Structure 1
Amino acid sequence: MRRGNLFVISGPSGAGKGTLVARLLDVVPDAWVSVSATTRAPRDGEAEGVHYFFKSEDEFMRLAREGGLLEWARYAGNCYGTPRASVEEHMAAGDQVILEIDVQGAFQVREKMPSAHLVFIEPPSLEVLEQRLRGRGTEAEEAVKSRLDAAVVELSRKMEYDIRLVNDDLELALGELVAYVNEQADNPRG
């Protein structure tokens, strides 16, 4: 059995994190994406423990106070966080646990779990990132500008990560990510 690990994947919106994580799951059989807890109500079709762990505000804050969350933040009036117990259970079972979270959350995880592997996914340039964001055609101009401003801040912290992958060529970036995950999983250190 391979050794379980925690991989925190961060990077600017539009860098391709979601695509890389989805592809990683196809080629690394013991990879598992962590399920977040949230205080927002379930949407149609969402199942408890599959899409989210749905918590009341009181339950969520108690979990946070008692150290039951590796990281958490409030977005648009709702709380979102990573439950420590499910991450630890999957790691103990030898899984390669994947968290796709923002830079702020990544460093919260690093404080609580120093053994976590932080992976930063970056675009080849801010110009390419802007093209990708505009190419989606799903966001207003103000949202694109806001995401680009956030990207500058996120990119300023990339050197604090264990590994940085430039997602210019999807297959190349995927190969580098898979190699890194497998290298850590096969490493016998304890």
Structure 2
Amino acid sequence: MTDALPTSVPVTRPDAARLTVLSGPTAVGKGTVMAEMRRRHPDLWISVSATTRPPRPGEVDGVHYHFISHERFDELVASGQMLEWALVHGRNRYGTPRLPVEEQLSAGRPVFVEVDLQGARQVRAAMPEARFVFLAPPDFDELVRRLVGRGTESEEERARRLATAREELAAVAEFDHVVVNDDVTRATDEVLALMGLAAR
């Protein structure tokens, strides 16, 4: 049995915001869509998150994430230098450094951040004028298939991530837009259109 997902959510906020927040469950393809957006629009500024988890094979510090210690993360939170942060899957913390986002917005550039549900809620509290986009799988079975196919988590970790994913999918109505990632090219086109950028 598959969990049906809505394909649209009524827009209740203006689309003129320069900050776009992308969220969605594990293994839905957020990183793949972001990479395609960056390929098409190299000038699009995408925030690089900080995390306390170790790098996965092929990940580069400062490109995929800022990999930092728990102690350094504590310092950034305590000094108000995180726009949002969250403990993810009960193990590691992820956060969006505030200053680079504010600098890019002040310069009038479109800014794009990718966060989990907790992070999206914190950004909404701090910057309610932002545009919030939820990237959804075609159905829950497809999400399971993608996570298993990725092969980067243990069975226990997969179970934890899927439990979190169910909670995130239940919160889809909190977002301004829902984009179903059944095809990366089409999903990227839709996100770019929401931002007013050409789908080239």
> Please, what TM-score do these two structures have when normalized by structure 2?
0.76
Find 2:86's aligned residue among 73, 98, 105: 73
Give the C-alpha shift of residue 28 in structure 1.
2.4
Show the counterpart of 1:161: 175
Show the counterpart of 1:126: 140
Show the counterpart of 2:165: 151
Using the TM superposition, name which of 79-88 and 113-122 deviates more. Answer: 79-88
Give the C-alpha shift of residue 60 in structure 1.
4.2
In structure 2, relative to structure 1, the CA distance for the partners of 1:149 and 1:78 (3 Å cut) is closer
Does the aligned pair in 2 maintain the 1:119–1:164 contact within 8 Å?
A: yes
Show the counterpart of 1:182: 196
Show the counterpart of 2:36: 23
Q: Which runs of 5+ in 2 are unaligned?
A: 1-15
Find 1:96's aligned residue among 110, 123, 138: 110
Does the aligned pair in 2 maintain the 1:4–1:93 contact within 8 Å?
A: no
In structure 2, relative to structure 1, the CA distance for the partners of 1:97 and 1:40 (3 Å cut) is same
Structure having the higher helix fraction is 1
Show the counterpart of 1:6: 19
Using the TM superposition, name which of 116-125 and 59-68 deviates more. Answer: 59-68
Query: 1:88-147 CA deviation, whole Å, 9 max, x = no partner?
Result: 111122322221111001101110111121110000000111111122233333222222
SS in 1 for 2:196: helix
Query: 1:24-48 CA deviation, whole Å, 9 max, x = no partner?
Result: 11122431121234567899x9556
CA distance in 2, matches of 1:122, 1:149: 15
Aligned-pair identity in percent equals 46
CA distance in 1, matches of 2:188, 2:62: 30
Does the aligned pair in 2 maintain the 1:48–1:54 contact within 8 Å?
A: no
Amino acid at match of 1:21: M
Does the aligned pair in 2 maintain the 1:13–1:151 contact within 8 Å?
A: yes
In structure 2, relative to structure 1, the CA distance for the partners of 1:53 and 1:83 (3 Å cut) is farther
CA distance in 1, matches of 2:63, 2:157: 31
In structure 2, relative to structure 1, the CA distance for the partners of 1:147 and 1:41 (3 Å cut) is closer
Instruction: Determine whether 1:171 maps to 2:185.
Output: yes
Q: Which runs of 5+ in 1 are unaligned?
A: 184-190
Using the TM superposition, name which of 152-161 and 73-82 deviates more. Answer: 73-82
Amino acid at match of 2:97: P
Aligned length: 180
Show the counterpart of 1:139: 153
Does the aligned pair in 2 maintain the 1:68–1:83 contact within 8 Å?
A: yes
Amino acid at match of 2:39: D
> Please, what TM-score do these two structures have when normalized by structure 1?
0.79
